[in-house]
Every structure is written in structure tokens, then in C-alpha cells.
Amino acid sequence: MSKLLARAKAKQFSAENSYKYISVDDAYIDECCFNLHQAIEFSLKYLVEMYGERYIENHDIRAQMNKLKSMDKYIPCEKELRQLASTINAWEVETRYNDNFVALIEDINDARVIVDELIAYCEKIIK
């Protein structure tokens, strides 16, 4: 069994923990955003694998979404995820290498909802 879902859940946990402290220091925003990106990436890769194909080996969540779409598979929060994909993808690099990184709280909250729904869906399909 793939470790991708376990990784997604661990990143979700880390993002939620960081979220509690974002008012304390910007470092927690960076951590939260990075982990939200990772949770989404791992969840989508997990879905690709669960449907019997190899995921695309990059960090672009749009690539995984396009792969699932080409397989004619359902993607939870697809519309919302497509709208935020560029922003969330930027988090993967910007949170680690850009000292001037800024994220909108609304985008963070939207990404948290997406992560919750993606992981819940992943857990549902394996039962």
C-alpha cells in the first residue's frame, strides 16, 4: 500500500498545528502553506495510484489534476482547487526560498477546506 495518504495526513496535521500559531510569527504561515501544498500533492498522487496509474513525478498539483481528469476520475473540490492551483503551487517553493513570502488568510482557509475534503475522499475510497 502506498505511503502517500499517510504522508498527506501527516502534512495536514502539521499544517493545522502551524495554523494555530500564524499570528505569532510569519514562519508559521510559511510552514502552514508549505504543508497544505504537500497534503494536496500527496492526496492527488495517492488518487492517481489508487486508480492504477503512475502519478506524474513533479510538485505541480495541476499535473496530478490533469492526470486524474484524463483518467475520467472525480476530484473533490475540483473547481476551487483549479482556481487556487497557481497560488498553492507557488507555496511549495516560495515558503522556503522567499523571505518576502506573503499569503492571504482567505487562501489558506480555502486550502485547508480542500485538504480536509481531499483526505476524507481518499479515506472513503479505500474502505
Residue 62, number of CB atoms within 10 A of its CB = 17
The enclosing domain of 71 has a CATH number of 1.20.120.330
Whether this prediction's pTM lies above 0.85 is answered by yes
**3 state DSSP class of 64:** helix
The residue range of the domain holding 32 is 4-125
Domain count, the chain: 1
- Confidence at residue 2, expressed as pLDDT on a 0 to 100 scale: 79
- Confidence at residue 45, expressed as pLDDT on a 0 to 100 scale: 97
Q: In sequence order, which residues have a C-beta less than 8 Å from that of residue 49 and are 6 or more positions away?
A: 2, 4, 55
Which stretches of 5-124 are assigned E, i.e. beta strand?
none
The candidate with the shortest Cα–Cα distance to 49, out of 127, 124, 126, is: 126
Which stretches of the chain are assigned E, i.e. beta strand?
none
pLDDT along the chain (127 residues), means of 10: 91 98 95 98 97 95 97 96 96 90 96 98 88
- Confidence at residue 126, expressed as pLDDT on a 0 to 100 scale: 77
